[in-house]
Amino acid sequence: MRSRQRMFAAVMRLLLKCLRLGRRRRFKLVRQVEQLWHYGHLCLRSLLYNSFTNSDVVLDSLFEPVYWLVDHVTRWFGVVFVALVIGLTSSIVAIVYICLLPLILQTYTPAWICWHLAYGHWNLIMIVFHYYMAITTSPGHPPQAKDDLTGVSICRKCIAPKPARTHHCSICNRCVLKMDHHCPWLNNCVGHYNHRYFFSFCLFMTMGCIYCSISGWEMFRDAYAAIERMKLLEKERLQVAANQTYYQTPPPTFSFRQRAFHKSVVYLWVLCSSVALALGALTLWHAALITRGETSIERHINKKERQRLQKKGKVFRNPYSYGGWDNWKVFLGVDMPRHWLTRVLLPSPHLPHGTGLSWDLPPCVTEQRTPLLAI
């Protein structure tokens, strides 16, 4: 009897211990859930730490991993895009020299031959020179020492001096002087020291593509018609072979050289026309920005500033614009009339006006304008 009582008491004690452990585990789980809830609540409130925070800041915070991925992927894709530009341009030049140039020398008059040789090679030299300079020239970066600059702000990302018209490039992870944009086709930023090279490359590449499209239009039509005849004759040949009519003579087939020639002409015209349309639109866009004395980034900043001042009944004037004609002279570095030939129509590695740290009045500007607002 006593042994049964002892056994029952031991079982009850064991049961009570299990209940106590269960309560402790439940209490521990509840504490962890409360801690996670307070931590999440604190993170949410940290997004609303001041009155300047709005829905855009919240969305930027949520999309920060996406931005990081795009920045790093674009950085690696730049090498691929540069190789693609070099490969496509080289293929067009090879087709012109191998396929079209012999035909031009055989069929065109001496005057037209001289025109095509002179213009084609001049355009090619300008394209190669400006693309090489746009890739290899640094856009310009502000100095890291704060004592070297006065009256400038501090970049909140790289914690360094940020002069006027300077912006931070998240792909290069550096501030760029007079930054326009990061171009993956150059694998480089477009800034103060290589902006002219970038625009000149776009302009001369567009001119070269338009030249190839116009001069090769008749050849493209003949080549396209020949390819259609190839397909038709190939279809007839297959039908003859299927019917096994040995008394019929199979239609003649085109040689590999003829096929390659016609397909190369079609490839050249389609590629040049497509690039002329796309790159031509980009060139016109940048030409409009240069005329207004703006960069791509400043265009958005000036638009918002113009709308803000318009509501107050005021007029915004871009402090870096000297008028359409003078803006082009400053951008191209034309200080005297002969520079239109030596610096615009011929390859020239001359530096732009100023250092990109301060924006004094260039010597080529005819009228001095007093800025109303500074950006």
Tell me the sheet residues that pair with 169. Answer: 174
pLDDT, residue 343, reads 94
pLDDT, residue 40, reads 79
Q: Residue 78: how many CA atoms within 13 Å on its side-chain side?
A: 16
Greatest pairwise CA separation for the chain in angstroms: 130
- What lies within 8 Å, CB to CB, of 137 at 6+ separation is 188, 193, 194, 197
Buried b (16+ CB within 10 A) or exposed e, 319-355: bbbbeeebbbbbbbbbeeeebeeebeeeebeeebbee
pLDDT, residue 256, reads 79
Please give the Cα distance from 137 to 191 (Å, whole number).
Answer: 10
Tell me the sheet residues that pair with 153. Answer: 162
Residue with tokens 């004395």: 293
Tens of pLDDT along the chain (375 residues) come to 566 666 666 666 666 666 565 555 556 777 777 888 888 777 777 766 655 556 666 676 776 777 677 666 666 788 899 999 999 999 999 999 998 888 888 888 999 999 999 999 999 999 999 999 999 999 999 887 665 565 568 888 888 888 889 999 888 888 999 999 999 899 999 999 999 999 999 999 999 999 999 988 998 999 888 888 888 877 776 666 666 554 555 555 677 788 888 899 999 999 999 999 999 999 999 999 999 999 999 998 888 888 888 888 888 888 888 989 999 999 999 999 999 999 999 999 999 988 888 888 887 786 555 444 433
H or E element, residue 125: helix 110-136
Q: Indicate the domain borders of the chain.
A: 61-243+253-358
pLDDT, residue 128, reads 97
The number of beta carbons lying within 10 Å of the beta carbon of residue 219 is 19
Query: Which three-class secondary structure state does DSSP give residue 52?
Result: coil
Please give the Cα distance from 318 to 261 (Å, whole number).
Answer: 53
Residue with tokens 């992927």: 73
Among the listed residues 183, 189, 212, 272, the single catalytic one is 183
Residue with tokens 């040689």: 255
Please give the Cα distance from 361 to 369 (Å, whole number).
Answer: 9
From the number of C-beta atoms within 10 Å of its C-beta (0-12, 13-18, 19+), residue 294 rates as buried
Q: Is 183 assigned a catalytic role?
A: yes
Q: What is the pTM of this model?
A: 0.77
From the number of C-beta atoms within 10 Å of its C-beta (0-12, 13-18, 19+), residue 302 rates as buried
pLDDT, residue 41, reads 75
Please give the Cα distance from 87 to 79 (Å, whole number).
Answer: 12
pLDDT, residue 374, reads 39
pLDDT, residue 53, reads 59
- In terms of Cα–Cα distance, which of 172, 224, 231, 165 is closest to 374? 165
CA distances from 238 to 1, 251, 257, 300 (A): 106, 10, 21, 61
